[in-house]
Amino acid sequence: MVRSTSSQFKSNVKEALANEQLQHALKSIKTGFVAKRKIASERLEEFEELRDQARDIKTHTIAHMDVYLEIYQQNVEASGGHVHWAANEDEARAIILEICQQADAKTVTKGKSMIGEEIGINEYLEVNDIVPIETDLGEYIIQLRGEMPSHIIAPAVHVTKEQVAEAFKKTHTDLAPDRSLEDPDDLLSEARAMLRDKFIEADVGLTGANFLIAETGTSVIVTNEGNGDLTQTLPKVHIALASIEKIVPTLEDVTTLLRVLARSATGQEMSSYTTFSTGPRREADLDGPAEYHVVILDNGRTDLLAGDFSEMLRCIRCGACLNHCPVYNAVGGHAYGWVYPGPMGAVLTPGLMGLDEASHLPQASTLCGKCEEVCPVRIPLPALLRRWRDQVFERDLTDWKTKWGLKWWAMFAKRPALYHFLVGMKMQVVAKFAGKKGHFKSIMLMSGWTDSRNFPAPQGKTFQALWKERNK
Amino acid sequence: MSSRESILGKIGAALNEAGEKETRYAAAAARIATPPKNLIPNRAQVPPDDQVQMFRDWAEEVSATTDRIENMDDLPAALTTYLSSQNLPSEVKSSEDPLLENVDWSQQPTLTRNCGIAEETDQVGLAVAFAGVAETGTLVLHAAPENPTTLNFLPETHVVVLPRSRVTGDYEATWKRLRDERNSNMPRVVNWITGPSRTGDIEQKIQLGIHGPRRLHIIIVDDV
C-alpha cells in the first residue's frame, strides 16, 4: 500500500494540533462548506427524500454489482472504448503505464482522482520517465509541495495563500522573482497561464470518475474548474480511473445522485461542469481523444462487499462527513495518514489497508453522529466505526493499559454493592483532595485528560445515592 | 484466471447468498430497459415562461450573464454588443450548428466568425445548447461533428445560444429528448454547464475562471 502513516495517528495528531498555519486554514471549513451545505439543503424541499432515494439506488446497485459491471463493459466496448480490470494497485499502475507507453507519452495531465492517490500513480509514472501534471488547482498546489491531499474534494484546504505563493515562486522560476502574489487573483492567473500549455502538450489525459453508467457505458466527472474537461478532450488518449462501486444503473439514477452530490459537497445547486463521456472521438468529430480507456479497480473493495462493511460502498465521496466532523476539523486530513480522512476514511482505510495499519482511525471519533446526519446516501458511519472498534478489541489490537483498566473496572462493576460503596467513598476522598478549587490540574495516570484541560472534582453524593434518597 | 473473472467472481460469491446471478441479471436488464422515474423536485414544474425566468435566475446566481432576443436574425447584433461591452475583440470561434449557419452574419461586417475547434489563441467560443434546465440554470450541450467540445472549455469567454423552446424544467426531460432524437445513441460527450469555471481551492474563496471560461454568456432566443 501507498505511503501510509495511519499507524502513527497519535503523533500525527500532536503535530497537527501544534501547527498554527494548519489550525488557521481549518477554520474556513465551518464558514465555507458547512454553512453552504445547510443553505443548499434547505433550499430544495425534497432534499431529504432525495437522500433516501440516493441510498436506495446505491443499495440496489451494490446488490447487483457484478451484472451492472458486465453490462457497463459491453456498452463501453460497443461505443469503441476499452475496459481494463485491476485487482489491486500494482495491476492498475501497470495497465496505465502500458497505455501511456503505447501512446509514447512524455507528459500526462491529470484530473483530480482519489483512486489515483490510492494507487500512487504519480510516483509510478515519474519512476518510469513520464511526467504527471496535476491540473486541479488544489492538486497542483499539493503536487508542488510534495504532499498528499488533506481533503477528498478540497485537497489543499490545509494550505494558506501565502504558502501557495511560496510554492509558485519556488516552481515557476521563469517568472520575475519579485512579482506580487499577494492577491489570490494573481495566484489564479498564474496557475491558469502555467497550466494552459501543459493541457495542450499532454499526450495522455488521466481522470477519475464520479460514476460509471451501465445503461450507456458512460463515465462521469464532476468538476468546477473545467480542468477535467481539458484533460480528457485535448490529448489523444483519455484514461478514466474508477473503482468498482462507482457503477450506477441508468441516466435517471445518476441524475438523482447528482442532485445530492454537489449540495452535500460544496453547497452548490450543481457543480459547474458535469461531463458524461462515452467512448472515443466519433468518425466525423473534430476533437476529442482517439482512444478511450477505463480502468476498473478493486483493491480490497470486494472484501468489504463480502463482510460487515458493504454499506461503505455507497459512498459518493462528497466530503460532507469530513466537513462536519469535530475530529477532522481539529486535526485536518494528513493526521489520518493515508488517502481518505475523516469519518469515511476511518471506516474505509481499515477495510482497504487492514486493521493492523489503521486500528487507530476508528477510535478517532466522538461518535457524535453528525457524519451520518449529513451523509447523502445515509451510511451509518458511527455504527460502522463501532464495528471496527469491536474488531480492534477482539483482534487484541487494543493497548495493554486500556485492557488492564477495563478488566479492573469490570471486577467491581460486576459486584454492584461493592461498586457503589467504593464509588461513594472515592467521591468523598477525591472531593476533599480537590479542596475549594473544585478541579484538578493534574492527576497521576490521567495526563491524557489533564494535559489539555482540568478534571472536575465530584460534588456531593453519587447519582445512585441521590436517586435512592428522592424515591423514599 | 483474469482479474476480470476474479473480481466479478468475488462480487458474485458475496451476492449469491441473496439470489442467483440469472435473477440479478434479469432485474438489472429490466431497470435499464425501462429506467424507473425517480423523484423529480417540484421546483421547476411550472409553466414554460416561468421556467425560462427560473433558468435565467439560477444561471445568474452562479455568475453567468443572460440576454433574450426575439429571433436568430437578432443574434449578430446582440453578440457584437456583448463583446464590446466586455472589451473583447469582435471575433468568435463558432460551432457549425445549423441554427448558426442559417444566420445572415454579413449584417455585422465588423464581426468575424470562424468555425472549427477552439485553439489557444481563440478568445471567444460560440455554441448552441441542446437544452437548458430551469431547476439549476444548467446548460446541456453535446459533442457532434458540428459541435466541437473544445469550444466550451478552451476560450476565456463562452457564448451559448439557447432557443427558448429547449428550456425544460428538469434534467430528466433532457435525457428523454436525447434518447428519442438519437435512438438511444449516447453522444460522445454530454456537458452539463452551470456557470463559468470556478475554484475554491485557495482558502475556500470562490474565484472565477481557473481553467475553463472566465465568462459564460447565454443568449435565449424566443422564436426559432
Tell me, what's the pLDDT at A123? 96
> B138 with B213, same domain?
yes
Place of cell 473473472: B5
CA distance B22 to B81: 62
pLDDT digits (tens, 9 = 90+) for A6-56: 999 999 999 999 999 999 999 888 888 999 999 999 999 999 999 999 999
B139 and B202 belong to one structural domain: yes
B contact residues 179-218, partner A, Cβ 8 Å cutoff: 186-205, 207, 209-213
pLDDT on residue A456:
84
Tens digits of residue pLDDT in B6-44: 999 999 999 987 778 999 999 999 999 999 999 999 999
- Using the beta-carbon criterion (under 8 Å), do A250 and B32 form an inter-chain contact? yes
Q: Which residues of chain A lie closer than 8 angstroms to B198, CB-CB?
A: 224-225, 272
Residues, chain B: 224
**Minimal C-alpha gap between B219 and chain A (Å):** 18
Find the CB nearest A276 among B36, B190, B201.
B190
Collapse the DSSP code of A293 into the 3-class scheme (helix H, G, I; strand E, B; otherwise coil) and give the result.
strand
Residue B179 has pLDDT above 80, yes or no: yes
Do B110 and B54 share a structural domain? yes
Give the pLDDT of residue A428. Answer: 81
For the domain that residue B200 is a member of, what is the CATH number? 3.40.50.10420
- ipTM, two decimals: 0.98
Quick one: B154 and B54 in the same domain? yes
For residue A63, which of B2, B23, B3 has the smallest C-alpha distance?
Answer: B23
- pLDDT, greater one: A113 or A469: A113
The single-letter DSSP state of residue A424 is: H
**Best CA proximity match to B153, nearest among B196, B116, B217:** B196
pLDDT over 90, % of chain B? 95
Helix axes A400-413, A416-434, angle to 10 degrees: 120
- Considering only the beta carbons, identify the residue of B145, B150, B200 that sits closest to A233: B150
Most B-contacting residue of A50, A244, A272, A285 (CB-CB within 10 A), to test interface: A272
Predicted confidence (pLDDT) at residue A2 exceeds the cutoff of 70: no
- Could you read off the pLDDT of A86-142 as tens digits, one per residue? 999 999 999 999 999 999 999 999 999 999 999 999 999 999 999 999 999 999 999
B78 shares its domain with B31: no
Structural domains of chain B, count: 2
Clarify whether residues B165 and B67 are in a common domain: yes
Q: What percent of chain A has pLDDT over 70?
A: 100
Residue whose C-alpha cell reads 470518475 in the numeric block: A209
pLDDT of residue A364: 92
Q: What is the dihedral of CA A86, A92, A96, A98, to 10 degrees?
A: -80
Nearest to A91 among B3, B43, B117 (CB): B3
Give 3-state DSSP helix, strand, coil % of chain B, rounded to 5: 40, 25, 35
Domains and CATH numbers, chain A: 6-301 (3.40.50.10420), 400-470 (no CATH)
- Regarding whether B109 and B199 lie in a shared domain, the answer is yes
Measured between CB atoms, which of B21, B42, B197 is closest to A45?
B42
Average pLDDT over residues B97-122: 96
B137 and B101: one domain?
Answer: yes
Q: Would you say residue B113 has pLDDT above 70?
A: yes
Q: How far is B108 from chain A (nearest CA, A)?
A: 27
Q: Let me know whether B20 and B115 are in one domain.
A: no
What pLDDT sits at residue A408?
87
Region for residue B171 given its phi and psi (left: phi exceeds 0; alpha: psi -120 to 50; beta: otherwise): alpha
pTM over 0.90: yes
Q: How many CB pairs below 8 Å do chains A and B form together?
A: 258
- A-chain residues near B205 (CB < 8 A): 184
Q: Is the pLDDT of residue A382 over 70?
A: yes
What residue in A sits closest to B61 (Cα-Cα)?
A269
Shortest CA gap A336–chain B (Å): 21
A405 or A276: whose pLDDT is higher? A276
Q: What is the mean pLDDT of residues A403-425?
A: 87
Is there a single domain that holds both residue B23 and residue B110?
no
Residues B148 and B179 in one domain: yes
- Please tell me if residue B173 touches chain A, with a CB cutoff of 8 Å: no
Do B210 and B141 fall within a single domain?
yes
Mean pLDDT over the full length of chain A:
94
Tell me which chain B residue has its CA closest to the CA of residue A88: B3
Give pLDDT tens digits for A250-296: 999 999 999 999 999 999 999 999 999 999 999 999 999 999 999 99
Give B35's Cβ-side CA count (13 Å radius): 22
Q: Is B114 an interface residue toward A (CB < 8 Å)?
A: no
Over residues B102-119, the mean pLDDT reads: 96
Structural domain that includes position B172: 41-223
Mean pLDDT over residues A59-78, rounded? 98
Burial class (CB in 10 A: 0-12, 13-18, 19+), A175: middle
Mutate to test the interface with B, among A150, A215, A250, A287 (most CBs of B within 10 A): A287
Tell me what pLDDT residue B145 has. Answer: 96
